[in-house]
Amino acid sequence: DNLFGHKNCLIEVNPGKVLMPPRYEEIGDRIRSLEVRPDDVWVVSYPRTGSTWAQEMVWCLGNDLDFERAKMVQQFRTPLIELTAVLSHDEDDFTKALGDSVAMVAGMPSPRFIKSHLTWDLLPEQMTTVKPKVVYVARNPKDMCVSYYHYCQLVHRLTGDFEEFAELFLQDKAPIGPIWRHILSFWEKRDDPNVLFLKYEEMKKDLPSQVRRTAEFLGKKIDDDDVEKLVDYLSFDKMRKNPAVNLEVVMAQKYGEERMAQADAKFIRKGQVGDYKNYMSEEMIAKFDAWTEENLAGTGLSFE
Ligand code: A3P
């Protein structure tokens, strides 16, 4: 806890515990009891897996590539349901302007597009009975750790260096961890008709085929021209320049340019597979690989 600038809370789930951001206790029960609708589409992931990218793909497919309406900031089209909890205790203008993220979701017209980084156990209870569509995004843990390190410096006021953060990550002590519990609880559901399991590395390798796969899952027809248009819209360079999805401007308002620069806080940062090689020692890579192998043994899940 002393590596983070604010106190996180440990939430008991069944079985085990999840480390949650500061204000989670204010909204956790309201999320669990939220009314789920059959035509909801949920995009769920551990943080820094490419979820903003997948979220934009899903929203565009679900809204017939309405690029005009997509100019609205993502949080107002496809809100992160627990955003209120992620923002620190500061009662600043930015936090106030965003309002209550759970109330926002509850009041949205159907069909709703909703994002969450919560584990399966902390999502609404009705997910199990109503079975809305769920798109889960996973990414290889080494790149995810590097990406999350930069993000935690800013949002969770992490003060340690990368080595310290990586050790926390390996000990399942990073916020919203343990990560394997997160990933595997959705991997187990990958063959359910209402669940689509995406991987960041597959999106990087062949985005058109992941766009087609997602369109089919959402029950949307898409022709080759539209696939091309969407792939271009979702390219790293276009997303980086798109103020509706690249929250850097919004984050700079909240956290200040100085802290952004200190944290190397690029929301849409490098977008590469294998960036961990620029941060991890051989020894650290070996630890991550052993940890991954141990946790994925017998599950059929692997990462490139
Ligand atoms: P890096 O920090 O490795 O660059 P999330 O949206 O879940 O927070 O994930 C953020 C990660 O997705 C960041 O990874 C970000 O750069 C990457 N990302 C965002 N948009 C992307 C795109 N269009 N193409 C590839 N990667 C993208």
| Pair 18, 10: CB distance under 8 Å | yes
The tokens of 61 are what?
């497919």
Predicted pLDDT at 247: 80
Position 143 pLDDT exceeds 80: yes
| Residue scoring higher pLDDT (159 or 287) | 287
Quote the ligand 1 centre to 266 CA distance (angstroms). Answer: 9
Predicted pLDDT at 74: 93
Query: What phi-psi label fits residue 131: left (phi over 0), alpha (psi between -120 and 50 degrees) or beta?
Result: left
Q: What average pLDDT does this structure show over 224-245?
A: 96
Report, in angstroms and rounded to the nearest whole number, the Rg of the chain calculated over CA atoms: 18
For the chain, give the mean pLDDT.
Answer: 92
Predicted pLDDT at 2: 61
Quote the ligand 1 centre to 164 CA distance (angstroms). Answer: 23
Contacts of 79 (CB under 8 A, 6+ apart): 101, 104, 105, 108, 114, 115
Predicted pLDDT at 230: 98
* Distance, CA of 113 to CA of 111 (rounded, Å): 7
- Residue labelled with tokens 């079985």: 15
Percent of the chain with pLDDT over 90: 70
Q: What average pLDDT does this structure show over 198-224?
A: 98
* Distance, CA of 185 to CA of 197 (rounded, Å): 11
Q: What is the torsion angle, in degrees rounded to the nearest 10, for the CA atoms of residue 289, residue 292, residue 298 and residue 300?
A: -90
Secondary structure of 156-189 in the HEC alphabet?
A: CCCCCCHHHHHHHHHCCCCCCCCHHHHHHHHHCC
Predicted pLDDT at 251: 78
For residue 197, the SS3 value is strand
From atom 2 of ligand 1, which residue's Cα is the shortest distance away? 147
Angle, vertex CA 209, rays to CA 205 and CA 212, nearest 5: 150
- Residue labelled with tokens 């802290």: 259
* Distance, CA of 135 to CA of 199 (rounded, Å): 10
- Mutate which of 44, 53, 116, 204 for ligand 1? The one with the most ligand atoms within 8 Å of its CB, which is 53
Position 263 pLDDT exceeds 70: no
Q: What average pLDDT does this structure show over 90-101?
A: 80
Position 193 pLDDT exceeds 60: yes
Q: What average pLDDT does this structure show over 170-176?
A: 88
Q: What residues line ligand 1, using a CB cutoff of 6 Å?
A: 45, 47-53, 143, 147, 234, 236, 239, 268-271, 275
Predicted pLDDT at 291: 97
From atom 12 of ligand 1, which residue's Cα is the shortest distance away? 50
Position 229 pLDDT exceeds 90: yes
